[in-house]
Homo-oligomer: A and B are copies of this chain.
């Protein structure tokens, strides 16, 4: 993957793009026609030193994407009539991943898939105007981040970060189970009993309703779905309170 920034003017944005690249493990940054001052200024961005140090500067888009066999432009869908197919980011990232793995499969005998012209360029335009129609004529297709129609213009650094995140996200990731083990029924029962003892000691007014009330307390304790360690922690607190209340008597 090559990230190509075209006509970008703000050094903070070049730095932010580089930082997101580093966060997500992308290395090849190319800048086309930056203000020199902007490009130099970006080199101080936090945590992006490696990416910025190896960033390459080009005069034209044609040169910047010469070794790429897939060129994708990004756009905030605006009023312009686009001549290109346009994909939502979720779907576009799937296409890009498919392209890259196809290229890698074919290049698996050698380690030079990029040298073989199999790279993909992901292109971003200037902060103010995005990519021009001429810039886009280098692209196979365009990609858009699914924003609100009323506010589709994104900050450049954020747009780069979101596109790269979508490329590396793992759609198979599932929620982690909670750490620790749930409390056993015996632990829950000890808490239930100690809580009843504490309530009796405190003079809690509804105690006399007996069985019904004890059932309600047990259901409350069960609903807490306590972890084993937490059950012990809570039991210690309750016992201390019981001790204090009985001592005070």
**A237 interface hit (Cβ, 8 Å):** no
Q: With A158-B19, A175-B94 in contact, do A88 and B170 touch (Cβ < 8 Å)?
A: yes
Verify B24–A155 contact, CB threshold 8 A. no
Verify B23–A147 contact, CB threshold 8 A. yes
Which residues of chain B have C-beta atoms less than 8 A from A179's C-beta?
A: 85
Which residues of chain B have C-beta atoms less than 8 A from A86's C-beta?
A: 176
How far is A41 from B178 in the complex, measured between Cα atoms in Å?
40
Say how far A79's CB is from chain B's closest CB, in angstroms: 16
How far is A85 from B169 in the complex, measured between Cα atoms in Å?
20
Verify B158–A16 contact, CB threshold 8 A. yes
Verify A90–B173 contact, CB threshold 8 A. yes
**A95 interface hit (Cβ, 8 Å):** yes
Verify A175–B47 contact, CB threshold 8 A. no
Verify A151–B87 contact, CB threshold 8 A. no
Which residues of chain B have C-beta atoms less than 8 A from A91's C-beta?
A: 173-176
Residue of B19, B90, B154 near A155 (CB, 8 A) is B19
Which residues of chain B have C-beta atoms less than 8 A from A73's C-beta?
A: none
Which residues of chain B have C-beta atoms less than 8 A from A182's C-beta?
A: none
Residue of B166, B170, B178 near A85 (CB, 8 A) is B178
Verify B92–A154 contact, CB threshold 8 A. no
How far is A23 from B19 in the complex, measured between Cα atoms in Å?
21
**A20 interface hit (Cβ, 8 Å):** yes
How far is A24 from B16 in the complex, measured between Cα atoms in Å?
20
How far is A146 from B167 in the complex, measured between Cα atoms in Å?
11
Verify A147–B24 contact, CB threshold 8 A. yes
**A234 interface hit (Cβ, 8 Å):** no
**A102 interface hit (Cβ, 8 Å):** no
How far is A169 from B171 in the complex, measured between Cα atoms in Å?
12
Q: List 10 A-B contacts (CB under 8 A).
A: A16-B157, A20-B158, A23-B145, A23-B151, A46-B155, A47-B151, A85-B179, A90-B169, A162-B162, A166-B169
Q: Closest 5 A-B residue pairs measured CB to CB? A: A158-B161, A90-B173, A23-B147, A91-B175, A88-B173
Q: Told that A23-B152, A171-B171 touch, could you supply 16 new A-B pairs with CB distance under 8 A?
A: A16-B157, A16-B158, A19-B158, A20-B158, A23-B145, A23-B154, A24-B147, A24-B148, A47-B153, A89-B169, A90-B171, A94-B175, A146-B168, A155-B157, A158-B158, A162-B162
